[in-house]
């Protein structure tokens, strides 16, 4: 497991997470913005708790959905999630994902190839969208 994320990898991950949240905000709004009544600090604390939970259980769709909604509320307020509060859990989360991909690579190379292509496509789409929005 890595002790710390490199500054470049951390910046890429935050950028990707942030870009994904912009897309998720629309769904969150349609479902009624259930976290709108939280103070900013309570919202940050709830998001941090969910992110820490994801580091312990990185494949929980429930935790991911909850973290996504909290991050969407943060985004809608014109703020950014306090990633500096979750540096260590972020490292564990990435390490768990990396380990899963390595297992998949060894035990199911066809599945790994498909997942790797899907991830590469998603990152390319994100980068293209980011370039379009900057122009």
> What are the C-alpha distances in Å from 74 to residues 48, 69, 87?
12, 9, 18
Query: Does 44 fall in a domain?
Result: yes
Query: Does 115 fall in a domain?
Result: yes
pLDDT digits (tens, 9 = 90+) for 18-71: 666 677 888 999 999 999 999 999 999 999 999 999 999 988 999 989 999 999
> What are the C-alpha distances in Å from 26 to residues 7, 51, 72, 83?
30, 21, 8, 22
Query: Does 31 fall in a domain?
Result: yes
CB 51 within 8 A of CB 67: yes
Query: Does 85 fall in a domain?
Result: yes
Query: Considering the entire predicted model, what is its pTM?
Result: 0.68
Structural domain including 28 reads: 7-134
Query: Does 50 fall in a domain?
Result: yes
Query: Does 1 fall in a domain?
Result: no
Query: Does 77 fall in a domain?
Result: yes
Structural domains of the chain, count: 1
> What are the C-alpha distances in Å from 92 to residues 5, 78, 112, 121?
10, 28, 21, 24
pLDDT > 90 in the chain, percent: 40
């Amino acid at each position: 497991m890595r002790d710390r994320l490199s500054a470049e990898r951390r910046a890429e991950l935050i950028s990707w997470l942030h870009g994904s949240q912009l897309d998720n905000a629309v769904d969150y709004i349609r479902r009624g913005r259930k976290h709108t009544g939280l103070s900013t600090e309570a919202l940050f604390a709830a998001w941090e708790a969910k992110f820490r939970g994801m580091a312990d259980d990185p494949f929980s769709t429930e935790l991911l959905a909850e973290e996504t909604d909290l991050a969407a509320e943060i985004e809608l307020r014109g703020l950014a999630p306090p990633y500096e509060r979750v540096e260590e859990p972020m490292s564990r989360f990435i390490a768990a994902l990396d380990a899963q991909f390595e297992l998949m690579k060894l035990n199911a190379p066809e599945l790994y190839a498909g997942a790797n292509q899907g991830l590469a496509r998603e990152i390319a789409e994100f980068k293209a969208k980011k370039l379009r929005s900057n122009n």
